[in-house]
Structure 1
Amino acid sequence: MIKAIRNIFNLPPKNQNQTNEDEGSKIPLKTDLEENIKTVKASLGHSPDIVIREIQIGKKGNIPAAVIFTDGLADTKSVNHLIIESLVTDIRITELDPEISSQTNTFDKLKKFALAVGDIKDSTDFETLFTSVLSGDTALLVDGFAQGLIIGLKGWEDRGVQESTSQNVIRGPKEGFSENIRTNTALIRRKINDPNLWLENQQIGRITKTNVSFMYIKGIASEKVIEEVRERLGRIDIDGILESGYIEELIQDEKFTVFPTVFNSERPDVIAAGLLEGRIAILVDGTPFVLLVPAIFTQFFQSAEDYYQRADIASLVRILRYLSFFIALLAPSLYIAITTFHHDLLPPQLLFSLAAQHEGVPFPALIEALIMEITFEILREAGIRMPRSVGQAVSIVGALVIGQAAVEAGIVSAVMVIVVAITAIASFVLPAYNMGNSVRILRFGLMFMAASFGLFGIMLGLIGIVQHLCQLRSFGIPFMASFAPSIPSDKKDGLIRLPRWEMFSRPRFLSQRNIIREDYPPIRGSKHNGKK
């Protein structure tokens, strides 16, 4: 059908434009420096931020050359000091003569004697030159040679390493990822100083050419998952990648689900812990959020602070998160079902109190809940989008004023305001924001089921949700592991967290390689139990 539509409107086949552009951009460099400079200026639209510095090099200063870089992306001081000053004033390169020197020997001498830079690559076509220069690198072209050097001197301004804003902890590291992908990889390598931590790079996006990397620990991560990540990233064909959310949506297993099947974090310690378990981290240049795959359901209820506190405290807090999850999901539905169909489940005094409060309200319980839930969602979005100085005040004051005014006006009952408030507070307990979004969506569906069939409708909805969860996969791994399928050895970090000495093995559902974290449990307590 798509092919027929393309034939009707004379549209080119998929990827034909890209192929033509690639063939056109694979133009080799010329030996004439002036022609190369004209091509660069014409191709880049004579943009003023593209700096082309023409210099004379060689012992006699009679060899024309050009240094090309993008102002604002390259480190200008390093370009002036390590390239231009070195080439102009250094007289050790005595054979920069295209008539008597081979191209390879000349550029080898430039690398070894004249350029005090570590990252140097060769370039023979304009596509490589444009991509490198527009990414922050510096290009060096010499007259008489159909070749250039790409010198890595990126130096744009970035936010630097700051505290994570979306995943705060009381105890633990405060550093968070930045928008610079090299800063992010360095933060991970600071946590894992091992040669088996491997990094692979790709450029995704026909126009943006965004740098995308994925990291894994060789010998721990599953080779099948590594190959699957490599293949899915290689299949992405899009004009631009601006944030890791693009990658997440394009590589996830299930395209239509409200539950997130790719985990993300802006904390280096969380990503390092995932790598040590056998997961794979996907980093995208330009965003502080790093993806972690495969992901499972219980992972979205775990916080970094769980592993920096004692096991009993961490387990108690984790149980509280699961309880909050069910409150945020079911509280409005249970209220609607009980007050509409199942009055006999309430104590008589509470039933009389609810009936008295609802006496002056003209709407049924479902309409009450919808009014309050939609109002709260509007206030929450307004608080997020407005400036930080007034956003919090708008969300809190707005909720209080509107809730009280709605009760006094007789639009909703006071109990409904309490139920919606508890639901909203419980949803904020979840560590993962995207899992909270899933609860927000499902809550409305369960409210309609409760209004139609009562508790029976809620049970049908829960059965459907559980069935859907059991069908989900994340890079081939069951989303509900280690509960479905049941893996007893992997439940030590699920609903609760066992003590550190009990967590001696890695999750078996991720990989069957290098399972054991430690050879034997550590000694707990004094050797003599406090006795001499």
Structure 2
Amino acid sequence: MDNIQKNLDDNIQHIKNLFNQTSDLVVRKLKIGIEKSEHAAIIYIDGIVDSEIIQDFVIKPILNSKERPEIKGIINLIGEVIESANVKKGTKFQEITDAIVNGKTAILFEGNDIGIIVDTAKWNERSLEEAPGERAPRGPVIGLTEKLKTNINILRSNIKTPELCVENKEVGLISKTQISVIYLNGIVDKGVLEKVQSRLSNLSVKYILQARIIEEVIEGQKSVFSLNKTTERPDVLASSLYEGKVGIIVEGTPLAIITPTVFIDAFQTADDYYFKVGRFTNRFIRFFGFFLSVYLPAIYVTLENFYQNEYSKKIVKSFFSDGELLPAFWEMVILIILLRIFIDTTFRIPKSSIIIISLVATVVIGETAVTAKIIHPAGLITIGITFLTSFLTIYRDLADVTTTLRFLFLLVANFFGFTGLIVGTTLLILYMTNLKSVGVPYLSPLIPFKYEELKDTLYRGDLKSLINSKHSYPDDN
């Protein structure tokens, strides 16, 4: 049955069956009314509700109420008796069960097919902490948390305007997860907002445990590049909303999704807007670092494979070959894999073991491999620089892209040299020009070229001009 029945015991039994007789489902029966002859039941899940709220603002007011719980009495209970800011009625079991699993309390009455739903949720959450993946020398330090309401609270403390719109949506067939679409009315790009809303409305999944599924739905296409930006920082999210972008926050994830996103966004950081110096150099260094992290191993292999004979023996011995067991290509491949294993390990093992792992890695990859003539010192330096520069953008949605492109260009360089790298880079640019983030070209404002948008791309323009400027995004046409 779908609708609440008038028989209280049948309703209670049906709800217990819907929850598979779980032991943490609490059902408390009450006798109410003037003569205590009327029966009601309060139903909630223990552990996710605030028992003091239930006792003081639900049970006591009902027990002290003199109304008979008919339709008129229920309306009075909602409007006058129950002392809660969030109270509503429900007529279907689906409404009751959805409310209970979200920490709310349901109240059912004998002889009535209408229930009352009261918000009594009390979820455990961690305190506000620094955003670990996006630390900055200046600016706010707090990051987003796993609780959606807390994140909205933080965001509204940064954006104090009634134009800030939050659209809540529940996703999931088995377990419903709440997501919030956030934008600034009057500033948001209408075309972008419509595409986001349309793609989310077509989402049908059993459950959501991570925000990546939302990212894939919004992207709308498969790509090695991330067509959305994620951030742990409320100030970054607020800044993006002021630029006409759309933010999406998923319950249970301490990240916000920002769309549309273009390639240039990966080289911008929050502290760019807090420092006077570095307006022109900071982003250039990050661009240069990205170039090195992708191309440096390929360039090293190309020089050894195709141009070694053009250098003196002294240079060849110092930079390319001095009787090592492995050729340059396999040196690069093995070192990349070993360092990738080392980085992955340091993120997953206990912190107390990181020093030991670092010492072992230093001895094995560095001293022993070079001394045993397995790897050339120049090759080790090349990979060291490659990984150091990759950390400039590793937390800005380019980590997976950098790793993939590094291997592809390394393979191309081993067989085709600089000619292959030039052709491969050309194909990569053509591929990137066809990518779109919710209709916005991924290489915008460089391709297609928009002069007025360059003031916050390769360099950081004047802050007053940036704040007062209106951003616009080219669409599919």
> What are the equivalent positions in structure 2 for 1:373-452 lying under 5 Å apart?
373-391=336-354, 393-395=356-358, 397-430=360-393, 432-452=395-415
1:123 equivalent among 76, 85, 90: 90
> Who is 2:116 aligned against?
149
Letter matched to residue 401 of structure 2: S
Q: What fraction of aligned residue pairs are identical, expressed as a percent?
A: 29
Confirm or deny that 1:453 pairs with 2:413.
no
Work out whether residues 166 and 180 of structure 2, in 8 Å CA contact, stay in contact via their aligned partners in 1: yes
Kindly tell me: are residues 209 and 142 of structure 1, through their superposed partners in 2, closer, same or farther at Cα, counting changes over 3 Å?
same
Superposition CA RMSD, Å: 1.7
Deviation, structure 1 residue 352: 4.2
> Who is 1:302 aligned against?
268
1:186 equivalent among 153, 159, 168: 153
TM-score normalised to structure 1 length: 0.86
Work out whether residues 279 and 461 of structure 2, in 8 Å CA contact, stay in contact via their aligned partners in 1: no
2:254 equivalent among 288, 300, 322: 288
In structure 2, distance between residues paired with 1:67 and 1:314? 61
> What are the equivalent positions in structure 2 for 1:152-167 lying under 5 Å apart?
152-167=119-134
Kindly tell me: are residues 486 and 97 of structure 1, through their superposed partners in 2, closer, same or farther at Cα, counting changes over 3 Å?
closer
> Who is 1:78 aligned against?
53
1:139 equivalent among 106, 113, 117: 106
Letter matched to residue 319 of structure 1: F
Confirm or deny that 1:68 pairs with 2:43.
yes
Deviation, structure 1 residue 85: 2.0
Work out whether residues 379 and 399 of structure 1, in 8 Å CA contact, stay in contact via their aligned partners in 2: no
> Who is 2:448 aligned against?
485
Kindly tell me: are residues 129 and 345 of structure 1, through their superposed partners in 2, closer, same or farther at Cα, counting changes over 3 Å?
farther
Confirm or deny that 1:269 pairs with 2:235.
yes
Q: What do the CA deviations read for 1:23-49 (whole angstroms, capped 9, x no partner)?
A: x6xx10011111111111122111111
2:469 equivalent among 501, 505, 530: 505
Deviation, structure 1 residue 287: 0.6
Confirm or deny that 1:28 pairs with 2:18.
no
Letter matched to residue 508 of structure 1: S
* Count of aligned pairs: 474
Kindly tell me: are residues 298 and 362 of structure 1, through their superposed partners in 2, closer, same or farther at Cα, counting changes over 3 Å?
same
Deviates more, 1:341-350 or 1:132-141: 341-350
In structure 2, distance between residues paired with 1:190 and 1:221? 19
Work out whether residues 409 and 421 of structure 2, in 8 Å CA contact, stay in contact via their aligned partners in 1: yes
Q: What do the CA deviations read for 1:388-436 (whole angstroms, capped 9, x no partner)?
A: 3323652464145322211111111111000001101110111634302
Deviation, structure 1 residue 180: 0.7
1:259 equivalent among 220, 225, 237: 225
SS in 1 for 2:278: helix
1:39 equivalent among 10, 14, 39: 14
User: Unaligned stretches of 5+ in structure 1?
Assistant: 1-23, 512-532
In structure 2, distance between residues paired with 1:382 and 1:201? 38
Deviates more, 1:49-58 or 1:480-489: 49-58
In structure 1, distance between residues paired with 2:241 and 2:217? 22
SS in 2 for 1:52: strand
Kindly tell me: are residues 396 and 114 of structure 1, through their superposed partners in 2, closer, same or farther at Cα, counting changes over 3 Å?
farther
Work out whether residues 441 and 474 of structure 2, in 8 Å CA contact, stay in contact via their aligned partners in 1: no
In structure 1, distance between residues paired with 2:368 and 2:343? 18
> Who is 2:205 aligned against?
238
Work out whether residues 338 and 345 of structure 1, in 8 Å CA contact, stay in contact via their aligned partners in 2: no
Work out whether residues 167 and 431 of structure 1, in 8 Å CA contact, stay in contact via their aligned partners in 2: no
In structure 2, distance between residues paired with 1:119 and 1:137? 10
Deviates more, 1:461-470 or 1:501-510: 501-510
Letter matched to residue 39 of structure 2: P
Deviation, structure 1 residue 499: 1.9
Q: What do the CA deviations read for 1:81-124 (whole angstroms, capped 9, x no partner)?
A: 11112222x2xx333154xxxx1x21221022211101111110
Deviates more, 1:470-479 or 1:136-145: 136-145
